[in-house]
Structure 1
Amino acid sequence: MTIRNVYLDCEFLPSDMATTGLISIGLTDDQGVDFYAVNRDMDMLAVESVPWMVDNVLPYLPVEQSRPGEFELLHYHEDVHPIDRIRDRVAAYFADTDAAVTHLYAYYGGQDICRLHSLWENNWGDMPEAIPRWFFDLKAFAVQLGSPELPAQDDGEHHALADARHNRRVHQFLRQRLTALRELNGGLPPVMTAAQTREADR
C-alpha cells in the first residue's frame, strides 16, 4: 500500500476559530510538493493588535506598513487568496495523488487540523473525502521515543510553509531514531518508563 505523508502548519489567531482567524497555511509532502497561501480575509486589525504576531508572523507576510502599528495586506501578491480560493486549492492539493492513503503530520497540531477543517466550517459531511480527518502529532511521536533533542529550524520559524517543511525534517529524524532503537531492542519498539513520560510532559 502506498502512503503519502503530508506535513501541515498554520499561522492563526488563537482567539478566533473562524476562518478570519486563519492567517496562513503551509503544506508539503514527502516528495517536496508544496502549497502555501495567505488568507486575504484574515482579521488584520486583530493581528496588528497582538505584539507577538507583529514581531513573529507579520515579517513573513506580504504587507506594507502604512503608519506605525498599521499594516496593509498586499492583495495582489501571488501568495494572497480569498478563503474560498484557499479551500479549493487545498482540496486539489490533497486530491492530487496516486497514493492509496494520505497520512497527515503536524507538531503540536491540534489547532492546525482544526484550522484545516475550518475551511469547511468543520463539517465533515461537506469536507472532500481526500482531506484527512485525523493526524499524527510529531510531539507525541517524540515523547514516545524518549523526547530526544529535535533538529533545530534554521530559519523561517512562524512562516507556515517553512514550518511545514521543518515538520517533514523532524519526522525523518524521528523515523531514523525509531529504527535505531528497534535495532537496539531486538526489533521491538522502545517502551517509555513512567519517569520518562512525566519528564516529557514538563
Structure 2
Amino acid sequence: MAKTRVFYDTEFLEDGKSIELISIGMVRESDGKELYLVNRDMPVKRIRKHPWLNKHVWPSLPRVPDEVRMTLGDRLNYAHPAVQPRAEIAARVRRFITDTPDPQLWAWYGAYDHVALAWLFGPMSDLPNGIPMWTNDIRQEAERLGNPQLPEQPRGEHNALEDARHNMVRARFLDQYAQRTT
C-alpha cells in the first residue's frame, strides 16, 4: 500500500524550555482535504511581545474586524471557527491524520513542527496510535537532490495553512525534479 502524504506546518512560540502552538495547517495530498486551526489557548501577550512573531505570524491569524480593532485594539477573533481550544485541536489533528490511509507526514524544516504536533498529545510516549513518530523533511529532500531552485511561495508566508499548501508544491516539484535527473 502506498503512503498518503500529509503536508503540514505549525507556527509556534519557543523559548528554549517549551514550544507553544500558535497554529497548524495540514493538507492531505490524496484528496486535497485541508485543516487549519489556531490555538485559542496560546499566550497572546507573549506572542505580541515577540518581535518576529508579532511582525510575521500575528498578521496571518484571524483577528477581529477593523471596526472592532479601532475600539478594542488588535485582538484574536475568538469567534472565528478556526480558533479552538488546544484539546479540540488535538482531537481534530488526530482525526485528520488517522482518517488518512497509511499517513506519511511532511514539513519544511520539520523537526520543530513534529515536536509542536506531538506535544498536542503530551509526551512522545502518548502519541496516539496511527500518528507517525516522525516527520519527513522537505528541506532535507531538497538537499539530497542538490538544492534545486524551488518555487517561491506566492502569498501567505507564515500562515500555517498557506505554508502547508506550499510544502505540497515544493514536494511535488522535488518529485518531478528527481524523475528528470535519474
Q: TM-score, normalised by structure 2?
A: 0.91
Q: How many residues align?
A: 177
- Which of 89, 93, 97 does residue 90 from structure 1 map onto? 93
1:24 matched to which residue of 2?
23
| Matched residue SS, 1:13 | strand
The aligned runs of 1:133-172 (5 Å cut-off) are 133-172=133-172
Question: Do the aligned partners of residues 17 and 129 (structure 1) sit closer, same or farther apart at CA in structure 2, a change above 3 Å counting?
Answer: farther
**Residue identity (%):** 38
- Distance (whole Å) between structure 1 residues aligned to residue 83 and residue 107 of structure 2: 23
Higher relative contact order (CA 8 A, sep 6+): 2
Is 1:57–1:158's contact at 8 Å kept on the other side of the alignment? yes
- Distance (whole Å) between structure 2 residues aligned to residue 157 and residue 7 of structure 1: 15
Runs of 5+ unmatched residues, structure 1:
183-202
What is the CA-CA distance between 1:127 and the residue it aligns to? 2.0
Higher Cα Rg: structure 1 or 2?
Answer: 1
- Distance (whole Å) between structure 2 residues aligned to residue 66 and residue 91 of structure 1: 34
What is the CA-CA distance between 1:16 and the residue it aligns to? 6.6
Question: Do the aligned partners of residues 16 and 24 (structure 1) sit closer, same or farther apart at CA in structure 2, a change above 3 Å counting?
Answer: farther
2:130 matched to which residue of 1?
130
1:109 matched to which residue of 2?
110
- Distance (whole Å) between structure 2 residues aligned to residue 86 and residue 130 of structure 1: 16
Q: Which has the higher helix share?
A: 2
Runs of 5+ unmatched residues, structure 2:
none
Question: Do the aligned partners of residues 17 and 174 (structure 1) sit closer, same or farther apart at CA in structure 2, a change above 3 Å counting?
Answer: farther
Q: TM-score, normalised by structure 1?
A: 0.82
- Distance (whole Å) between structure 2 residues aligned to residue 123 and residue 159 of structure 1: 26
- Distance (whole Å) between structure 2 residues aligned to residue 140 and residue 127 of structure 1: 24
- Distance (whole Å) between structure 2 residues aligned to residue 29 and residue 121 of structure 1: 24
Two-structure CA RMSD over aligned residues (Å): 1.8
The aligned runs of 1:173-184 (5 Å cut-off) are 173-182=173-182
| Matched residue SS, 2:14 | coil
Moved runs in structure 1, 4+ residues, more than 3 A?
A: 16-19, 64-67
